[in-house]
């Protein structure tokens, strides 16, 4: 089995390495020569020729959004060269309705598109403990479940597009409890509570979440803001979740407020900020003042 990995960013590099360790035959592609060079230095094959990737049995995409996924897969040099029977795993955070439409276009060439977005961040990618949300037929899921074992655990969540929707909804919840935790921590510190005590109590009480258990102690309290997932991508995923709920006619009151807050933070924080820096924004907004006593 030969595999092409398209997108060698924060998640793409370790995923390409894990797949190569298990299967061999991995070729990486990225528009950035620097990203290709990093993978080449690690002993994997790279290419700057998109068309050449059409010869692979499986294409794995880790790209920023649906527009770029479509631009890559529908690029004439790649689309016209795709072989019948090729499987395409879109592990990006894409828009579910656009994923469904793209799957139809690829199906006309007897190419199968499977959405398989991941949760777990950079640490999960490095440790191969990702949760992979698969949107596919039951038959295609049988293949994917085995294929992604070097990366983590696959969960079949429904038909094509379902994985991308569930990923957006998961990140909506993640963004909500992170900004709520930041507000709670800010209020507690203003009163004089010890931040470490607050986190300990939250984690042994009903206020616990992925933010209190992992993001705060690992990335926010130390002040490294190095989760590996950008604020830009989180805001994009919030937009996907909000758009989906709007289209489906379900409640959006909280989602609209959360998306507005993250979009405001995105506009005010430096470009490329890690999403955990939302905690600093909650405290200081545009003031630029450093976070002090709560960094241990």
| Residue 225, H or E segment | none
| Residue 227, H or E segment | none
167 belongs to the catalytic site: yes
List, in order, residues 6 or more apart from 166 with CB less than 8 Å away.
Answer: 117, 133, 157, 158
DSSP state string for 257-289: HHHHHHHHHHHHSPTT-BGGGHHHHHHHTTS-P
279 close to 178: Cβ distance less than 8 angstroms: yes
Query: At residue 275, what are phi and psi to the nearest 5 degrees?
Result: -65, -25
111 close to 86: Cβ distance less than 8 angstroms: yes
Helices in the chain by DSSP H: which ranges?
12-23, 33-41, 66-73, 76-79, 96-107, 121-127, 138-147, 162-191, 195-203, 210, 231-248, 253-268, 278-284
In whole angstroms, what is the distance from residue 93 CA to residue 73 CA?
Answer: 15
Q: Which of 105, 145, 167, 236 is the catalytic position?
A: 167
Active site residues: 167
């Amino acid at each position: 089995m030969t595999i092409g990995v398209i997108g060698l960013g924060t998640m793409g590099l370790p995923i390409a390495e894990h797949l190569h360790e298990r299967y061999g035959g991995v070729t990486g592609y990225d528009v950035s020569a620097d990203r290709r060079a990093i993978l080449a230095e690690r002993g994997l094959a790279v290419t700057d020729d998109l068309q050449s990737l059409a010869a692979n049995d499986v294409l794995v995409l880790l790209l920023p959004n649906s527009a770029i996924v479509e631009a890559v897969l529908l690029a004439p040099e790649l689309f016209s060269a795709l072989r019948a029977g090729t499987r395409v795993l879109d592990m990006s955070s894409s828009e579910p309705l656009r994923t469904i439409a793209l799957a139809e276009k690829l199906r006309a060439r007897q190419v199968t598109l499977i959405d398989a977005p991941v949760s777990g961040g950079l640490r999960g990618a490095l440790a191969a403990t990702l949760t992979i949300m698969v949107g596919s037929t039951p038959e295609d899921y049988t293949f994917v479940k085995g294929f992604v074992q070097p990366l983590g655990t696959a969960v079949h969540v429904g038909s094509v597009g379902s994985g991308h929707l569930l990923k957006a909804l998961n990140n909506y919840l993640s963004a909500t409890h992170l900004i709520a935790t930041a507000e709670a921590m800010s209020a507690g510190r203003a009163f004089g509570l010890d931040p470490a005590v607050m986190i300990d109590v939250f984690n042994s009480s009903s206020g616990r979440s992925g933010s209190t258990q992992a993001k705060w102690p690992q990335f926010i309290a130390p002040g490294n803001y190095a989760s590996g997932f950008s604020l830009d991508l989180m805001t994009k995923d919030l937009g996907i979740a909000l758009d989906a709920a709007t289209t489906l006619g379900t409640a959006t009151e909280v989602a609209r407020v959360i998306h507005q807050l993250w979009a405001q933070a995105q506009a005010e924080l430096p470009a490329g900020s890690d999403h955990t820096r939302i905690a600093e924004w909650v405290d200081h907004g545009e003031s630029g003042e450093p976070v002090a006593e709560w960094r241990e």
